[in-house]
Amino acid sequence: MLDHVFRAFVESGSVAGVTIVRAAAQKGKPARREGGRGLIWKVRVTVGERQVFVEAARGGAREWASLDKLCDWLELCGMDAFELNVCVESFSAAQQDLEFVP
């Protein structure tokens, strides 16, 4: 869902929910950081029963490095309530090799 489509859904009242999700960066400066701290924030939107991420104009999920800037953007779009999920969606390379034993 592109930025302008998200804004249109918000204006029409079609957005059932917004969740801010912490994730590993896939592009840009955060993705190139050393030490695995390339974490960013993404916006997952619920419209009806469908959940999609806000997309960047050049493709892929839009990413924010600053939670403050993301919250400011959501406020400008007309969103006054949203959820925050601080669990990282994907694992680092070191975490992928871990075994969990019950």
Dihedral (Cα; 90, 2, 75, 22), 10-degree rounding: 0
Domain spans, the chain: 3-90
Average pLDDT over residues 44-53: 92
pLDDT grade for 82, boundaries at 50, 70 and 90: confident
pTM recorded for the entire structure: 0.72
Interval 12-43: pLDDT, tens: 999 999 999 888 877 666 555 555 567 889 99
- pLDDT 10s digits, 53-63: 999 888 888 99
SS3 6: helix
CB 91 within 8 A of CB 99: no
